[in-house]
Chains A and B, each alone.
Chain A
Amino acid sequence: GDSVTQMEGPVTLSEEAFLTINCTYTATGYPSLFWYVQYPGEGLQLLLKATKADDKGSNKGFEATYRKETTSFHLEKGSVQVSDSAVYFCALRGDTGRRALTFGSGTRLQVQP
């Protein structure tokens, strides 16, 4: 079945550092890929998405490119802020079957001033 693997956290960075959170997936066909962010005690918010190979999703300085050849969707940001501290989830939605999102285990990011 479909699955998503994320790098384990926590990831601890200083403000203005470069961020990469790795995400790889296993799925048949052509899934859509998503990054969600969760702040403490809240639900998840969509950060960005990509629906086909080579698409780049971007939002709030974050970017991720859908790489079908490496089955990856790594999240990047050039300069993190303290306010980016949260848990980040990579997810996929298959193009067949139940159409529900399958999530990775999440990566906690801590940004220090």
Chain B
Amino acid sequence: DGGITQSPKYLFRKEGQNVTLSCEQNLNHDAMYWYRQDPGQGLRLIYYSQIVNDFQKGDIAEGYSVSREKKESFPLTVTSAQKNPTAFYLCASTELVTGELFFGEGSRLTVL
């Protein structure tokens, strides 16, 4: 079945540690996105990539980094510079023409 796989589903991190969230898609989509979701708030765009080896900052990129070395993969690193990293992180992908986003199941990061 085609879809988006995020891992891990739950992750705990100590302050000062970097952590990488995985996102893999087998939908052959060109564009991929990372969103952050906090309780009672909508989704905020962290980074996006419309083509391999290229990516752009979203609205809240500070403290995060990404790479897009392969079309199917778009990992997100939450660095120690991110002041408040505890959140639910959602990866999505889309064909550029339709704009309809397909989402993964999400990764919940908790900083202890």
Contact = CB atoms under 8 A, between A and B. Distances in A.
Interface of A: 4, 32, 34, 36, 41-46, 49, 89, 93, 98-106
A105 B40 CA distance: 7
Contacts, number: 57
Size class of the B contact interface (CB-based, 8 Å): 20 to 34
Q: In this complex, which of B48, B103, B104 has the most chain A Cβ atoms within 10 angstroms of its Cβ?
A: B103
B42 interface: yes
B48 A100 contact: yes
Interface of B: 4, 6, 31, 33, 35, 40-45, 48, 50, 56, 58, 90, 92, 96, 99-106
Contact of B106 (A42, A89, A93): A42
B99 A43 contact: no
A103 B50 contact: no
A106 B56 CA distance: 25
Contact of A99 (B6, B92, B99): B99
A95 to B, nearest CB: 9
Contacts of B40: 105-106
Contacts of B41: 105-106
A93 B43 contact: no
Contacts of B100: 34, 46, 49
Contact of B105 (A32, A42, A89, A100): A42
25 contacts: A34-B101, A36-B103, A43-B6, A43-B92, A43-B103, A43-B104, A43-B106, A44-B43, A45-B103, A46-B101, A46-B102, A49-B100, A89-B43, A98-B48, A98-B58, A99-B50, A99-B99, A100-B45, A101-B43, A101-B99, A101-B101, A102-B45, A103-B43, A103-B44, A106-B42
